Structure 1
Amino acid sequence: MRILFTIAHFFNPDIKGKHGSQRKDPRCRLLALSRSLAALHQLFGKSQSMINIGQQLAFPVNQPQVYDLDIIICTSKNNHFLNQLPLPSHFYKHHPTQAESLMLGFECQSLLRDCLGKYDYYCFLEDDLILHDPWLFIKLNWFTQQAGNLTLLQPNRYEISTHNLTCKAYIDGDLAPKLTANFQNVNQKPQIRGIIMGMPITFRRTLNPHAGCYFLNANQMDNWANQPYFLDRDTSFVSPLESAATLGIMKTFWVYKPAPEQANFLEIQHFGTGFLSLIGQQVGLSAS
């Protein structure tokens, strides 16, 4: 299986910036992107081995679940630090653009469209997201087999900490219904149930389809790219950053996420504790 990952990356300090890529210190962003890229190769790349101690040889493992990967990082003007990444140069390809930083997600969409017919999955990631699940694409394929290609399963983003009121927090809970009502009707087929390894699991239409990423199979990518609004650069959902990542897929697919009872069935780490640290301050901690 062939997979294309596109990553929107920029670092442009701005005293008024609310996004991580606009903060003063680049070290956290550099670490986040490095871990994100490394994880993609470690989870899905072909270079995976097991050491046979008796024979003193390392043999390939997980080969049915390893894929041909292409990773393209889209950047904005000179607002990036790819020359500082402590990673082998073959881990990614660089696609420089003159786009505004918050609009890079649309440049990634253009790349995905231009590569139609060459891959089995077409993916987008913001540059501070880290995958940890080697079964991600197996789960996504299972879901679309059950629910069809007009549905899209999004992961739940989370942050982790050892020094806050909670050790793990999922950061994309429900938005006010009015924020997505113009783009989706969550009352249409509001939930899907299944059984996996004997465990009942529920997926629900989400009032917050944003996850800073998406993973589309070839049929889904082709469907989206052929919609009249594809690449219209509509920024009417939250901000240009969220719109570039989420608005197009919300218009095209019935978007689901795993229900809170099984939130970790499909999840992705958001680097840092920017949201988690709000708990106990702007966000209260429920007793139950």
Structure 2
Amino acid sequence: MRLHLAIAHYYNADGGGQHGSLSANPLPRLTALRRVILQLHRLFGGPSGSLNHLQRCVDPVTDGTTDLKITICVVAEANLLHELNDLQEAGAFTARLCQPKTPKHLGFECHHVLEEFHKDYDYSGYLEDDIIITDADFFLKLRQFNRCFGNNYLLQPNRIETSQDLANLRRFYIDGDYNPAASEKYRDSMDLKLCMEHLGEPICFGQPLNTHSGCFFLNNAQAQMYFKAPHWSEEDESFHSPLESAATLAPMKTFQIMKPSLNNGRFLTVEHAGRNFMGLLRSARAI
């Protein structure tokens, strides 16, 4: 499988904000981005090897290694890539210097990067710089879903935060219902329930009121559909803000977005690297 993933990364210590990209402390943002990159290579990159105890050597292993390309889109000096020289020198990613309308529009630049190469990859994907994939079968599950239900549906993962000390909820699904009016005119499948079998268990999907996941992943056929339509290049920022719009609005205009129902929500997840949402509500603490 061939993957091209574009990541929007921005950091400005002079931003004076509470958001991680504007915090005076770069460490959480740097740690998150390093985790994002390393985890992608751990799950999907190569090479792989097996310890041969008898010969006291390492045997090469072909275990489904992916042709993985990661492009990180940045703005001038407003980034932390200089702290990731070890990964860049190892070929873990390619940096792309961009000139977005504003830093919040950086995600739209990722779309242009993906459009350049989409015909060469089985999946073209966009991620915010704190979205971590932890499932080695992530893209196999996406492929299974579209083989069952067709490419007009885009399966989005449930975004979660996880407990660090077991004093809180083990998994916190952070994209609950929020401002349904923002996505109402694009949601045509609210009454539709899709189900398929996975490893002997029924997995069901529905259309959420909150279609945002901080990422999206298009198979080759979907990418061709997406980049032939005008929506991807419009830079429409009307879905909450440019940040959310880059991750969600243009895909939502092109496809009917579905997510795993929460009673089997773990089927497809990505992890939000911070604990911002867990800290918002008392109800997120131990029940």
Provide the C-alpha distance between the structure 2 equivalents of 1:126 and 1:212, rounded to a whole number of angstroms.
Answer: 6
Q: Does the Cα contact within 8 Å between 1:168 and 1:276 map onto a contact in 2? A: no
Structure 2 gaps of 5+ residues are: none
Q: Does the Cα contact within 8 Å between 1:160 and 1:272 map onto a contact in 2? A: no
**How big is each residue's C-alpha offset from its partner over 1:195-254, in whole Å with a ceiling of 9 and x where there is no partner?**
111111111111111111111011111111111222111000011100011101111111
Q: Does 1:139 align with 2:141?
A: yes
Say which of 163, 168, 179 aligns to 1:165.
Answer: 168
Counterpart for residue 47 of structure 1: 47
3-state DSSP of counterpart to 1:201: strand
Counting matched residue pairs gives 283
Question: Once the 2 structures are TM-superposed, how far is the Cα of residue 286 of structure 1 from its aligned partner?
Answer: 9.8
Superposition pairs of residues 84-163 of structure 1, within 5 angstroms = 84-85=83-84, 86-89=86-89, 90-99=91-100, 100-163=102-165
Provide the C-alpha distance between the structure 2 equivalents of 1:261 and 1:130, rounded to a whole number of angstroms.
Answer: 22
Question: Once the 2 structures are TM-superposed, how far is the Cα of residue 123 of structure 1 from its aligned partner?
Answer: 0.8
Structure 1 gaps of 5+ residues are: none
CA-based RMSD of the aligned residues comes to: 1.8
Query: Alpha carbons of 1:18 and 1:220: their partners in 2 closer, same or farther (altered >3 Å)?
Result: farther
3-state DSSP of counterpart to 2:118: coil
Q: Does the Cα contact within 8 Å between 2:71 and 2:96 map onto a contact in 1? A: yes
TM-score by length of 2: 0.92
Q: Does the Cα contact within 8 Å between 1:44 and 1:134 map onto a contact in 2? A: yes
Superposition pairs of residues 36-75 of structure 1, within 5 angstroms = 36-61=36-61, 63=63, 65-75=64-74
Counterpart for residue 208 of structure 2: 206
Provide the C-alpha distance between the structure 1 equivalents of 2:51 and 2:266, rounded to a whole number of angstroms.
Answer: 30
Provide the C-alpha distance between the structure 1 equivalents of 2:219 and 2:175, rounded to a whole number of angstroms.
Answer: 23
Q: Does 1:269 align with 2:246?
A: no
Provide the C-alpha distance between the structure 1 equivalents of 2:266 and 2:50, rounded to a whole number of angstroms.
Answer: 27
TM-score by length of 1: 0.92
What amino acid maps onto 2:40 in structure 1?
L
Question: Once the 2 structures are TM-superposed, how far is the Cα of residue 18 of structure 1 from its aligned partner?
Answer: 5.1
Q: Does 1:181 align with 2:180?
A: no
Provide the C-alpha distance between the structure 1 equivalents of 2:214 and 2:188, rounded to a whole number of angstroms.
Answer: 21
3-state DSSP of counterpart to 1:137: helix
What amino acid maps onto 2:184 in structure 1?
A
3-state DSSP of counterpart to 1:91: coil
Q: Does the Cα contact within 8 Å between 1:186 and 1:206 map onto a contact in 2? A: no
3-state DSSP of counterpart to 1:33: helix
Per mean C-alpha deviation after superposition, the further-off stretch among 114-123 and 253-262 is 114-123
Q: Does the Cα contact within 8 Å between 1:186 and 1:207 map onto a contact in 2? A: no
Provide the C-alpha distance between the structure 2 equivalents of 1:155 and 1:5, rounded to a whole number of angstroms.
Answer: 15
Choose between structure 1 and 2: higher helix proportion.
Answer: 2
Provide the C-alpha distance between the structure 1 equivalents of 2:270 and 2:95, rounded to a whole number of angstroms.
Answer: 23
Provide the C-alpha distance between the structure 2 equivalents of 1:112 and 1:136, rounded to a whole number of angstroms.
Answer: 19
**How big is each residue's C-alpha offset from its partner over 1:126-156, in whole Å with a ceiling of 9 and x where there is no partner?**
1111111111111111000001011111111
Provide the C-alpha distance between the structure 1 equivalents of 2:284 and 2:125, rounded to a whole number of angstroms.
Answer: 34
Query: Alpha carbons of 1:18 and 1:249: their partners in 2 closer, same or farther (altered >3 Å)?
Result: farther
Question: Once the 2 structures are TM-superposed, how far is the Cα of residue 182 of structure 1 from its aligned partner?
Answer: 2.5
What amino acid maps onto 2:116 in structure 1?
D
Provide the C-alpha distance between the structure 1 equivalents of 2:196 and 2:61, rounded to a whole number of angstroms.
Answer: 30
Q: Does the Cα contact within 8 Å between 2:232 and 2:251 map onto a contact in 1? A: no
Q: Does the Cα contact within 8 Å between 2:190 and 2:208 map onto a contact in 1? A: no
Identity rate of aligned residues, in percent? 38
